[in-house]
A and B are shown apart, each in its own frame.
Chain A
């Protein structure tokens, strides 16, 4: 089966271009990759089930058949495991009925015992099997109704359904977060390869042979790994589904907003899938330079807390409360300590800088929220909970919040922005209670808002546009999903703008002001930062 050595070589910008003939048409494709990826660069999609760009090539599904010239003439070959050779001739279904037939036959074979579950399957709508069937499958079934679908998996999971058909392997609880449906499985072994080669913890295996093959864990073991929900992404069908999203929504009803996960300094790229003003799931968004196709369970399940314990400004309008605080700040002359929490965007940090300019020599800025940093796991997490630490450093904010706890006596006012100091380390933060005015800008009601004298509710990072710089120096853009629980909430940078008397109306406007002051960002605007992010030049990693 698969091993490390057949990890697919993906085309890059530096790939040499070689000429090949596709359907009697000469095209230039990257020369150091496989045929499937090469055809993709010229806009030819090849249906595939088992191939995944970030998993070793297994080549077991045979769905990506193309015809390739060989010494005996044109012959069928799988595109995912055929390297590009300069001058090769390739035939796709457009010109070759043989390829069309082969793909159709493969699709038909895969569906022989695949249950007709699509109406109730959580994967329906984003299922490779469905898509391939539409593009290259057979339009009418050749299976006799009397034979029906058969289940050949584990005998103890077998049952007769209400029509008397043999079915089996439904809703098997293989782990705390994942549910297995043996019947829907097409044995592509993507999940096995993910656990083996990416998670480096071989918890899933293919057991038995032939059409009795099923996915299973070791006896008595459960699928339990910090990245185990990624197997539900790589699963091309609805065999492995996450319990958090099971039966919640149908996928075609969701709208997607590309954003960045702000709970880790790698800044994993995500899709926020929302509908009717609620976030229903977070999905990894492929970025080859950052998180590839992976997302940790922590980041993925973070959305479950997005709506809980929200700090809503119930008494009066947020702008009025903020102006009142602004008057309070300008009437006194004591020092102000501002603490930037982990999920602050660059715009929030810049708004704090504006606060510093508005009250000269009075504002000192601290970074972090007393959380302890972990270690990078090499997949999609750097371990540092302060997501935008690099961005803060570019704006000149580097003193940690621990320092503030030691020097609490110097300050008269404390402004925390998305920083839960008391919640992270109550014993250290206790010293901060000596500061007479404590203003908390927070999305949630937490220990810090409890300990504060003024509470201003602001938007969560899933509801704001903005930018962040991840630990590898990539400038990445967050987009606001329309899921704000109340109209009386603002992004933190707008509230801070009112505090400093320099109100801004949007994140792109704030970024334009920011780039005037910080030369690293001079060449960018909000609109020019694409979804894949930009590597900043001259930023040490």
Chain B
């Protein structure tokens, strides 16, 4: 069905144009001056100086969770790589140094230029090793290679940035529950 919308015909003042132009300029000046005197009421965020508030449920940059001894929780099962629709996760597996754990990743890379931030890797992970709750949405790098997050950059996060109720984050080294977790962990492997 075609719906025709008839525009209201302009009256002769509008057709004169000059008064309408000044009315438009008045709106612009209103916002301009609001930026000077009532800055907080503006609906936009002055991005580099002020960051928007992002909830932890937002699918942002990935991080790899850590065991109490500081090794990544990842067991290199390739489930995230298998689930990834963009094929941006590259894993190489190796034997774990901890005798109680079978496998560990020797390489774990996520190409953020290819990633579509669907969060399927987080869903697929059987050991809750990968999360996307860093609230970090800025990707600024000089070269394409720098956009590839590796084992080192994925594990560089501070437990203090995360909720105190987040047990897994706080059990990592530097977290408030790390000491307690280490005691039940018992064995330290470097």
Least CB distance from A191 to B in Å reads 20
In the complex, what residue of chain A is closest to B78 when comparing beta carbons? A250
In the complex, what residue of chain B is closest to A179 when comparing beta carbons? B95
- Binary interface encoding of chain A residues 143-178 relative to chain B, with 1 for a CB under 8 A from any of its CBs, else 0: 000000000000000011110100100110000000
Q: How large is the interface on B (under 10, 10 to 19, 20 to 34, 35 or more residues)?
A: 10 to 19
**Interface pair B82/A120, CB less than 8 Å apart:** no
A247 at the interface (CB under 8 A from B): yes
Indicate which residue in A119, A160, A161 contacts B75 across the interface (CB closer than 8 Å).
Answer: A119
A119: chain B residues at CB < 8 Å are: 75, 77, 79, 126-127
Number of A-B contacts (CB under 8 A): 38
Known contacts: A247-B94, A250-B82, A253-B82. The answer to whether A120 contacts B102 by CB under 8 A is yes
A5 at the interface (CB under 8 A from B): no
**Interface pair A247/B100, CB less than 8 Å apart:** no
Indicate which residue in A120, A162, A167 contacts B77 across the interface (CB closer than 8 Å).
Answer: A120
Indicate which residue in B76, B79, B99, B184 contacts A170 across the interface (CB closer than 8 Å).
Answer: B99
Known contacts: A162-B185, A171-B95. The answer to whether A247 contacts B82 by CB under 8 A is no
**Interface pair A120/B75, CB less than 8 Å apart:** yes
Known contacts: A119-B126, A120-B77, A171-B95. The answer to whether A247 contacts B185 by CB under 8 A is no
A45 at the interface (CB under 8 A from B): no
Q: How large is the interface on A (under 10, 10 to 19, 20 to 34, 35 or more residues)?
A: 10 to 19
In the complex, what residue of chain B is closest to A117 when comparing beta carbons? B102
B93 at the interface (CB under 8 A from A): yes
Name the residue in A120, A161, A164, A171 with the highest tally of chain B Cβ atoms < 10 Å from its Cβ: A120
A109 at the interface (CB under 8 A from B): no
**Interface pair A252/B82, CB less than 8 Å apart:** yes
Least CB distance from B113 to A in Å reads 19
Least CB distance from B81 to A in Å reads 8
- Binary interface encoding of chain B residues 94-133 relative to chain A, with 1 for a CB under 8 A from any of its CBs, else 0: 1100011111000000000000000000000011000000
**Interface pair A247/B95, CB less than 8 Å apart:** yes
A252: chain B residues at CB < 8 Å are: 82
- Binary interface encoding of chain B residues 18-32 relative to chain A, with 1 for a CB under 8 A from any of its CBs, else 0: 000000000000000
- Binary interface encoding of chain B residues 147-190 relative to chain A, with 1 for a CB under 8 A from any of its CBs, else 0: 00000000000000000000000000000000000001100000
A161: chain B residues at CB < 8 Å are: 100
B79: chain A residues at CB < 8 Å are: 119
Taking chain B's interface residues, is the majority helix, strand, or loop, or is none over half, making it mixed? Answer: loop
A253: chain B residues at CB < 8 Å are: 78, 82
- Binary interface encoding of chain A residues 235-266 relative to chain B, with 1 for a CB under 8 A from any of its CBs, else 0: 00000000000111010110000000000000
Least CB distance from A180 to B in Å reads 13
Give the CA-CA distance A171 to B184 in the complex, in Å.
24
Taking chain A's interface residues, is the majority helix, strand, or loop, or is none over half, making it mixed? Answer: loop
B76: chain A residues at CB < 8 Å are: 120, 247
**Interface pair B99/A120, CB less than 8 Å apart:** no
Name the residue in B82, B93, B102 with the highest tally of chain A Cβ atoms < 10 Å from its Cβ: B102
Least CB distance from B125 to A in Å reads 9
Give the CA-CA distance A161 to B98 in the complex, in Å.
10
**Interface pair B93/A247, CB less than 8 Å apart:** yes
In the complex, what residue of chain B is closest to A162 when comparing beta carbons? B100
Least CB distance from A511 to B in Å reads 37
Give the CA-CA distance A117 to B78 in the complex, in Å.
13
**Interface pair B99/A247, CB less than 8 Å apart:** no
Name the residue in A164, A167, A247 with the highest tally of chain B Cβ atoms < 10 Å from its Cβ: A247
**Interface pair B102/A162, CB less than 8 Å apart:** no
Least CB distance from A321 to B in Å reads 36
In the complex, what residue of chain B is closest to A115 when comparing beta carbons? B102
Indicate which residue in B67, B103, B126, B184 contacts A247 across the interface (CB closer than 8 Å).
Answer: B103
Name the residue in B76, B99, B100, B126 with the highest tally of chain A Cβ atoms < 10 Å from its Cβ: B100
Least CB distance from A165 to B in Å reads 10
Give the CA-CA distance A160 to B67 in the complex, in Å.
17
Least CB distance from A368 to B in Å reads 41
Least CB distance from B176 to A in Å reads 20
Known contacts: A120-B77, A162-B185, A247-B93. The answer to whether A170 contacts B102 by CB under 8 A is yes
Give the CA-CA distance A119 to B75 in the complex, in Å.
8
B77: chain A residues at CB < 8 Å are: 119-120, 250
B94: chain A residues at CB < 8 Å are: 247
Indicate which residue in B95, B99, B103, B126 contacts A159 across the interface (CB closer than 8 Å).
Answer: B99
Give the CA-CA distance A160 to B102 in the complex, in Å.
13
**Interface pair A167/B100, CB less than 8 Å apart:** yes
Give the CA-CA distance A455 to B79 in the complex, in Å.
45
A250: chain B residues at CB < 8 Å are: 77-78, 82
In the complex, what residue of chain B is closest to A167 when comparing beta carbons? B100
**Interface pair A120/B103, CB less than 8 Å apart:** yes
In the complex, what residue of chain A is closest to B106 when comparing beta carbons? A247
Least CB distance from B137 to A in Å reads 30
A248: chain B residues at CB < 8 Å are: 93
A117: chain B residues at CB < 8 Å are: 102
**Interface pair B102/A171, CB less than 8 Å apart:** yes
In the complex, what residue of chain A is closest to B101 when comparing beta carbons? A162
B67: chain A residues at CB < 8 Å are: 162
Least CB distance from B92 to A in Å reads 9
B78: chain A residues at CB < 8 Å are: 250, 253
Give the CA-CA distance A117 to B101 in the complex, in Å.
11
Least CB distance from A95 to B in Å reads 37
Give the CA-CA distance A309 to B75 in the complex, in Å.
34
Pairs A–B under 8 Å by Cβ, sample size 22: A117-B102, A119-B75, A119-B77, A119-B79, A119-B127, A120-B75, A120-B76, A120-B103, A159-B99, A159-B100, A160-B100, A161-B100, A162-B100, A164-B184, A170-B102, A171-B95, A171-B102, A246-B95, A247-B103, A250-B77, A250-B82, A253-B82
Q: Which B residues fall within an 8 A CB radius of A? A: 67, 75-79, 82, 93-95, 99-103, 126-127, 184-185
Further 13 A-B residue pairs, CB within 8 A, beyond A120-B102, A247-B95: A120-B76, A159-B99, A159-B100, A162-B67, A162-B101, A162-B185, A170-B99, A171-B95, A247-B76, A247-B94, A248-B93, A250-B78, A253-B78
Q: Which A residues fall within an 8 A CB radius of B? A: 117, 119-120, 159-162, 164, 167, 170-171, 246-248, 250, 252-253
List 3 A-B pairs, minimum CB-CB distance, nearest first. A119-B77, A247-B93, A120-B103
